[in-house]
Amino acid sequence: YSIFVVDTTDGSLDFYNKHRDQVPMVHINLEGESPDRHVALGMEYVREQFLASKFSWWLNVEGDVIIPPTAITTMLHYANGMDMVAAPYKHRTEDRWIDGCFGCSMFSRKIAEVSFADAPSDSHTDVFYREKVIGKYRISEMPRHVLQLEHLNA
């Protein structure tokens, strides 16, 4: 396995400077871009790194999502025969579930051929991406409560 972090924080290198010696990390300056473009362009950067690697799967965990130690093995079980698997989690502030999003998701090399870079600045990147790939790739949504995911500052 390999760990790689992309920091798209606007206006400050504090997070990057604090953690860059602890984990492989890059900072991408996206000043002036919308939050959705930050997600899209950060995902695109990692996608390109993944495709240049030898790995079969890319586990994506957004910076505010906490995963349990069993996340990788559990998700690989649900990813069997799939191109993407997403773990649902409770919304941070509302009493509802987030299903089929990138907060905790795995991508195969096959589905990773599809770029994130064209996601518009006013759309949720995960929704936009799913609309591009739905019906063309095998996507699995894990049952709720299989992984106990949490949000930071929830």
* 104/10 Cα distance (integer angstroms): 23
Q: Give residue 154's pLDDT band: very low, low, confident or very high (50, 70, 90).
A: low
Query: Which tens digit of pLDDT belongs to each residue from 67-104?
Result: 999 999 999 999 999 999 999 988 888 888 888 888 89
pLDDT at 143 over 80: yes
Distance CA 143, CA 35 (A): 28
pLDDT digits (tens, 9 = 90+) for 122-131: 888 988 999 9
**Torsion from C-alpha of 114, 118, 131, 135, nearest 10 degrees:** -30
Residue 152 predicted with pLDDT over 90: no
